[in-house]
Chain A
Amino acid sequence: MPQGTAKLTKKSQNAKPITRAPPSRKESIVDALILSRLQFAVTTYFHFLFVPLTLGLSFLVAIFETAYVRSRDEDWRKATKFFGKLFLINFAVGVVTGITLEFQFGTNWANYAKYVGDIFGSLLAVEATVAFFLESTFIAVWFFGWKKLTPKFHCVTIWIVAISSNISAFWILVANAWMQHPTGYVLRNGRAELSNFVDVVTQKFAILEFVHTVGGAWILGGFFVLGVSAWHIARKSHVSVFTKTFRVAAVWTLVFCVFEMFQGHLNAEILGSTQPTKLAAMESHWETSGDVPMYLLAWPDEQNEKNAFQALPIPGLMSFLVHYNPHGQVAGLKDVPRQDRPPVLPVYLSFRAMVGLGILLFWIAVWAFWKRDSIEKQTKLLKILPWMIPLPYLVNQLGWTVAELGRQPWIVYGLMRTEQGVSKIDAIQVATSLGAFFLVYALLGSVDFYLLWTYARKGPLPESHPTSTKA
């Protein structure tokens, strides 16, 4: 384990000659740490506003195009083009904001990069080589290839895009899972070195994290199609197209909502043995004990290491969820010293909100599935569904908050603390780039959501370029 804090302090004495009046070297590292964390949080949250729709909608568009190739029904072609256009508007921002994350491991987290690059770096390189090339090359083939490829082959290219973007997610999530639960490594030469590649790639934590993340993304894609289709059906616009897409999305969404709940439980369960402190923070559970109930209402009081308020216990439920035994012992937050605990309140609230909203989405998915064949007449459902589109976005972000904030104070769980990973760079540089990210991302986000909003409401358009219609 690197002796980070001591090392950083020692380095602070032989400060480099800096031209502008600097704060003491140590202070500037602390600032760079906070700013770098903030910058990573901002850029990751932003990136993940676009990724889930790419992962989910790509499959749905692929299904629509497959239906077109099989039936030669123009409705399916319109559906493919329409949702394909929305897919591309979303994809553009998702793809460019991903590079930011890869770069930051080097720019802002250089000590982390040195310490884990042997494993973590290779996973990112595999991702680019195996999946990202395919995705980026074939998305263009799909967009530009409508006339150049046979319909069947054209359809194959969107499947390549869908599958490769999800494979890409797999490698990224394997890398993240390694930060959550490092395995297959030895500590040698002052860093973590790979000892078993298969372990790293196939560990249960990684597989569960993958299915949970893509599951959430697929649900988001489903709600997106449901919402947009409902909006048009309610306005009697292209009803025959949108009732078709609605039916597919209704089945899709319900299937993955059910799937998500089951493996979501497995994701929490595995934390009992891999990240007990995170689990305790998610449940605001302080004292290690058996027969742990789950309180439907609670409010953590971190100062006094207890819940300020708790009510409505379901006896033994938490023990049961972790051990399938209502008497099982569950580790509490007080098992580890304060400085080794994540911030409890945001982790606890994010987890509760994620589960609560997830269950709400499940019931809406049941409703949509139930009424899918008479959807034109379901005025209430048609009104509600477009408003539901933001919810899965929120749920996805909450899930990442639980996963990443709950991992703190570790950058690699139990192995390297976050403050040990940061680069020795001037805080002013980070402050400047952070400011620029706020500015540029605010612009990009507004423009992209404006375009999605506009094009989603336009519905299927005649097939010519928007700027050439006047010519």
Chain B
Amino acid sequence: MLETIWFAIWGVAWAVYFLLDGFDLGLGTLFPFIAKTESDKRIMVNAMGPFWDGNEVWLITAGGVTFAAFPTAYAVMFSSLYTPLMLLLFALILRGVAFEFRGKVDSAAWRKLWDCCLVFGSFLPAFLLGVAFANLFAGIPVDQDGVLHGNLLTLLNPYGLAGGVFFVTAFIHHGALWLAVKSEGELRERARKLAFKLWFVALVAAVAFLALTWIYTPLWQNLFTRPVFLALPALAVLGLVASPILSRLGKAWWAWGSSGLFIAMATLFGVAGVFPNIVGSSLDPAASVTAFNSASSTLTLEIMLGVVLAFLPVVIAYQAWVYVKFGGTINQESVDEGPSY
């Protein structure tokens, strides 16, 4: 039972991470495609400014939850995904400093360098996380000792690539909607229009991914044995369908939230479908790392449950407060007056 609860917490941590960091990874990826002037760029950077760092801690937490609750899964997952994780790490490092560095020296070449880091460092994590999760859904060639028989190219199989594309499209759509929340005037219109276009792209990618999921993974079959969880893909569809309607009604926040619902529920769909596997083995089902054969001791799971139940609601409360407090629109003037990146 404790293992199952922890599996759920594990899934929720990833879902929240994708829902939150999804928009700033997406907006970072869109950077060169929306911004026309330096002022646009500054607005986009500052639209993510107060949030991206707090969002990224959800990644650390999702990693920490894996390590604490399922140490063997952490070991197998991280060592077998060595190269993609290192790429993810470098991307996130360069992206993180880009926020702080880009405005610090008044030179176009300097800004261009860090803009590149921001774009590359936003796109790559979105793509790699999609590839990684698709592969976890389908199972990867790990043996009894948790050693991967393959390399990065093994992971870049058609389904893995589809996962990468799915994440990127979902995130850039989410990011464009966030810019529509935060910006004003002509930039906001551009962001809104782009979001409509990206919605079709995201829709195609989502349908394709879900169809491929049917072929490559046992996710759907697993869910049909526990039909209550079919609510998750239903909610994901609802979120995706509602988002452009809400956007057309001028409800920017709701449209963005609706897209967040889509991302979170799509993640939970995968997580629920793959249960109890964390790292499924495509070589030998018996070599799969599950919530049950990789869990920590009962005492650790209990203590950590106490910690999570006591603190995560507080975290969610103050992060929500930050979104409210800093959720207002920004424009060239407010960015120039500062404080801003």
| Chain A positions near chain B (C-beta within 8 angstroms) | 11, 16-17, 19, 88-89, 91-93, 95-97, 99-100, 102-103, 105-108, 110-111, 113-114, 116-122, 124-130, 132-134, 136-141, 143-148, 188-189, 191, 193-195, 197, 423-425, 429, 432-433, 436, 440, 444, 447-448, 451, 454-455, 463-471
Contacts and interface: CB of A to CB of B under 8 A. Distances in A.
A136 B53 contact: yes
A257 to B, nearest CB: 31
B322 A103 contact: no
Contact of A114 (B59, B71, B82, B85): B71
Given A423-B79, A447-B101, A103 B89 contact: yes
Contacts of B146: 110, 424
Given A121-B74, A429-B83, A464-B337, A95 B53 contact: yes
B53 A99 contact: no
A462 B92 CA distance: 32
Interface of B: 38, 42, 49-51, 53-54, 56-57, 59-61, 63-65, 67-72, 74-79, 81-83, 85-86, 89-90, 92-94, 96-97, 99-101, 103-106, 111, 143, 145-147, 149, 151, 296-297, 299-300, 303-304, 307-308, 311-312, 315, 318-319, 322, 325-326, 335-340
B315 A129 contact: yes
B90 to A, nearest CB: 6
Contact of B304 (A125, A143, A195, A444): A125
Contact of A117 (B38, B67, B312, B337): B67
A411 B50 CA distance: 39
Contacts of A455: 104
A405 to B, nearest CB: 25
Dominant secondary structure of chain B at its interface with chain A: helix
A116 B104 CA distance: 42
Contacts of B311: 129-130
A43 B182 CA distance: 37
Nearest to A91: B100
B300 to A, nearest CB: 5
A105 B89 contact: no
B309 to A, nearest CB: 10
Given A92-B99, A117-B75, A100 B296 contact: no
A117 B68 contact: yes
A465 B103 CA distance: 8
Nearest to A193: B297
Contacts of A129: 61, 64, 307-308, 311-312, 315
B155 to A, nearest CB: 13
Nearest to B97: A92
25 contacts: A92-B96, A99-B59, A100-B93, A105-B78, A107-B81, A110-B146, A118-B297, A122-B67, A122-B300, A122-B303, A124-B64, A126-B68, A134-B318, A143-B50, A144-B49, A148-B325, A191-B71, A194-B299, A197-B299, A425-B82, A425-B147, A451-B104, A466-B106, A467-B38, A469-B106
A436 B87 CA distance: 10
Nearest to B107: A467
Given A122-B296, A137-B54, A444 B97 contact: yes
Given A89-B104, A133-B57, A144-B50, A463 B75 contact: no
